[in-house]
Amino acid sequence: MDKQLIPNVSVDSVVFGFDSVHQNVLLIGRNTLYEGTWHHDWKFPGDLVRWDEDLDTASKRILKELTGLQDIYMKQLKAFGSLDRLTRRPQDISWLISIDHPEKRVITIPYYALINLSKNGKKNIELSINARWINVDDVSGLPLAFDHQEIFKFALETLRNELRTKPLAFELLPSKFSLSQLQKIYEVIFGISLDKRNFRKKISNLNYIVALDEKETGVLHRPARLYMFSREIYQKLKTENFDFTI
């Protein structure tokens, strides 16, 4: 065990990526030898925290080291520290032994992160041999290490709840976007279909979504009007509740 690392505290990152069509999550492939057989499963990017860094710094460092991602929206979730979180499966115990971690007790503090894959993420990250973008709908059927299924479900629930009360959707959009692009984010993340007319009626009441004198270019369909999210206007109106209940 590296003496620079705290042996019982880690951070993990649940990175959600939106590619204009699907919601994905970033997973790291892992191979573990147990009783002479190799077992393949998946885990979130994560590692132990160093003695000289706080949790936010550790989360950003580890994500950059494992994926190359940096300067993206990240938020701490909650601590996961059940007694058996690292020992529920035999292959996980085998992994702990292989890294010389006999304590078998690590409390992890996961973060969730958001990235627009259409702009700058997917191509670069897939250069890492073990990192893959997986459709969110497929994650429940995958073998995830430790308690990462619980972490995933909590992160997805948190993301959906916060999309209703915070302007997080704009972290997944280009600076100029169409209303169809905005609607698509909510449909994909919530797994529902929205009525176009009602959605646009709701948007018309939000002063911080500003219509531009510009239209889409390079599209096969009729070019749609473009909009932008004004953080300045949003900050001025922040005393009002952000309500994007759909």
pLDDT of residue 3: 64
Q: Per-residue pLDDT tens, the chain, 246 aa: give them.
A: 566 888 889 999 999 988 878 899 999 998 887 777 888 899 999 989 999 999 999 999 988 887 777 888 899 999 999 988 888 888 888 777 766 665 568 899 999 999 888 765 555 555 566 888 999 999 999 999 999 999 999 999 999 999 888 888 888 888 899 999 999 999 998 888 999 999 998 888 888 899 999 988 877 778 889 999 998 888 887 655 566 666
DSSP bridge partners of 17: 24, 115
Tell me what pLDDT residue 2 has: 63
pLDDT at 102: 56
Q: Are strands 46-50 and 131-135 parallel, antiparallel or unpaired?
A: unpaired
Assess contact for 14 and 117: CB atoms under 8 A: no
**Which tokens belong to 211?**
């219509």
Cβ burial 203-219 (10 Å sphere, 16+ → b, else e): eeebebbeeeeeebeee
Give the pLDDT confidence score for residue 78 in this predicted structure. 96
- Going from N- to C-terminal start, the domains of the chain cover 5-165, 168-236
Fold of 168-236: Arc Repressor Mutant, subunit A (1.10.10)
Give dist(CA 230, CA 133) in Å, integer. 30
CATH number of 5-165: 3.90.79.10
pLDDT value of residue 227: 94
The type of residue at 133 is W
Give the number of other Cβ atoms within 10 Å of residue 39's Cβ.
18
Per-residue pLDDT at 120: 55
What's the pLDDT score for residue 94? 76
Distance from C-alpha of 69 to C-alpha of 190, rounded to nearest angstrom:
25
Domains 5-165 and 168-236 are alike in CATH topology: no
Predicted TM-score (pTM) of this structure: 0.86
| Residue 124 pLDDT | 52
